[in-house]
Amino acid sequence: MEKLIITAALTGAEVSKEQQPALPVMPDEIAAAAEACVRAGASIVHLHARRPDGTPTQDKAVYREIIAAIRARCDVIIQVSTGGAVGMTSAERLAPVTLAPEMATLSMGSVNFGSDVFLNHPADMTVFARTMREHGVKPELEIFDSGMLTTAVRWIKQGLLDPPVHVDLVLGVPGAMAATPESLMFLRAQLPAGATWTVAGIGPAQLPLGVMAILLGGHVRVGFEDNIFFRKGELAVSNAQLVARIARISHEMERPVATPDEARAILGLARRLNH
């Protein structure tokens, strides 16, 4: 079984400082959180940007500042979000990809998102995929429901995605696929040939689905974007605390945790000279 890749989703677009006082918002806070997560065992950091007032932004300049601050502190695979926040235009969401990070998320369809709709028109998704290819950015395919995997398989056949793909199974979003073992096992059975996969369990599902992924040969995403608690009723003190727990469990199960360079090898990423 290959080593475990841990992704730290540090900030997200929805969580506030009022909900989680340790939420990193400013570039220096995000960079410090990234460094702590790498020390705890993460090899990928998934980035969202915020304005000084805490509202989400896809401003390319803000992402550039965050990325530079992270690279000054540590070596880690940087994955930018193209999800942004509900209601943003596709052009806004795509802007950080032109900075040529190693990875970026690519949502494979529209989904009800609580009381909102996270809209991903097929024409926009195609532009996202082509732009990532042009800039040498590996997509992480965000899968909120089973039909999105079917779309991914079709796109591979059409040449819009380069295999082997990497997918993130996002389970537990209100309006999308439930965060249950049955959901995870079903999606795992539908994966394209040769795909690597990560699971992102939302809220209380983060830990049990993460443990399942360790057992099944997948990878794990943790962090404040998806879950702000360490255990029921107890806020996590940092993103790194959530990373350290998964790393500890994986080590106890005798599955070593991947370094950033080992994760690059698993994912087929070419290490860039400016890292």
Confidence of residue 87 (pLDDT cuts 50, 70, 90): confident
Task: Calculate mean pLDDT across residues 249-262.
Answer: 98
When mean pLDDT is compared across 80-84, 100-104, 238-242, 257-261, the lowest value belongs to 80-84
pLDDT digits (tens, 9 = 90+) for 179-224: 999 999 999 999 999 999 999 999 999 999 999 999 999 999 999 9
Place of tokens 């696929």: 177
Task: Scan for tokens 């989904």, then name that residue.
Answer: 111
204 to 201, 216, 229: CA distances (angstroms): 8, 20, 8
Token digits of residue 214: 């360790």
Q: What is the mean pLDDT of the chain?
A: 95
| CATH (one of 3.40.50.720, 3.20.20.70, 3.50.50.60, 3.40.50.300) for 6-267 | 3.20.20.70
Per DSSP, the three-state class of 71 is: helix
pLDDT for res 114: 82
pLDDT per position as a tens digit, 240-253: 999 999 999 999 99
| Cα–Cα distances in angstroms (integers) from residue 92 to residues 57, 82, 113, 116, in the given order | 8, 9, 19, 18
What is the reported pLDDT for 273?
Answer: 42
